[in-house]
Amino acid sequence: MKVLFAIAIMLFVTSAWAADPATASVSPSLTGEVLEIQDVDSYTYLRLKTKDGETWAAVNRAPVQKGTRVTIENPMVMNDFESKTLNRKFDKIVFGMLAGTGARASGNGGDLTSLHAGVSKPVDVGDVKVAKATGPNARTVAEIVAKSAELKDKTIVVRGKVVKFTPEVLGKNWLHLRDGSGSAAGNTNDVLVTTRDEAKIGDVVLVKGVVHTDQDLGSGYSYKVLIEEATLQK
C-alpha cells in the first residue's frame, strides 16, 4: 500500500463512526463509472457502478465528472460508516486514492501518516511521574510493553499523562500515554491507545482497554503493542 499523505492542519473532524465499530479490508484497486457526485469540504463522495454492482467511494476532493470511469487505488472498505458532513450512514463505503492524483482519503477524514506527522509528535510535558493505577488489572506503561505477550487480548488499567493526541483517524482518537516508567532508549516509556473518548495533551487519564500486539495498520505502520477499545477517565 502506498504511503498515505498527511492532511493539512490536521482536520480530522469531518465525520465519525456509527455506534458499532466498522470493519475494514483492503484490495488492490476499484474501477467504476461515476453515477453521482457529492463534494464536501476536502472530500469528494462518488457513487460508482462497478462490475460487482454499485458502491459509494470517497477520495480527496477532485474535479470528477458524472459518467466518467475512475480507478481508486488501494481501496479500504469501511462498513457501517457515518458521515456527519453528509448527515448519512453508509452500510459500505470505499476510501482510497483516485488514480493519478497521489492523494488518498481515509475514513473519518484522517489517515495513518497523520499519526506520525511532525506537527503531532509527542510533546515535552515535563517530568512525567504518575501514580500507578490500583486494582488487579492495573499495570504501568513499562509493564504493558515488556509483558505484552502475557497481556495479549487481556483488559488492563493504566494511569498516565497524554503526550500526543490525534483525533478522528480511521474512526478513532489516538493518544500516546506515559507514566514515568520505562525508558526512551528501550522504547518502554510510551504506549499507544485508541479510544472514542476525548483528551488533550497534558491530561492525566485512567485508561481501561484491551492489549493488542503485532498490529499492522498498513502503509508500513505497525505496532508491537497498543491498547484498544479504551475508555478514559480523568
- pTM for the complete prediction? 0.54
Locus of grid cell 456527519: 84
The pLDDT of residue 136 is above 90: yes
- The predicted pLDDT at position 103 comes to 52
Which residues in the chain belong to E strands, given as ranges? 16-17, 24-26, 29-40, 43-50, 53-60, 69-83, 88-98, 155-169, 172-178, 191-195, 204-216, 222-233
Looking at residue 122, its pLDDT comes to: 60
Confidence (pLDDT) at 117: 45
Report pLDDT for 97. Answer: 81
Tell me the domains of the chain and their CATH numbers: 8-115 (2.40.50), 121-233 (2.40.50.140)
Residue with cell 490525534: 166
Distance CA 15, CA 37 (A): 17
In angstroms and rounded to an integer, the radius of gyration of the C-alpha atoms of the chain is: 19
Q: What is the pLDDT of residues 182-227, one digit of tens each?
A: 998 898 999 999 999 999 989 999 999 999 999 876 555 678 899 9
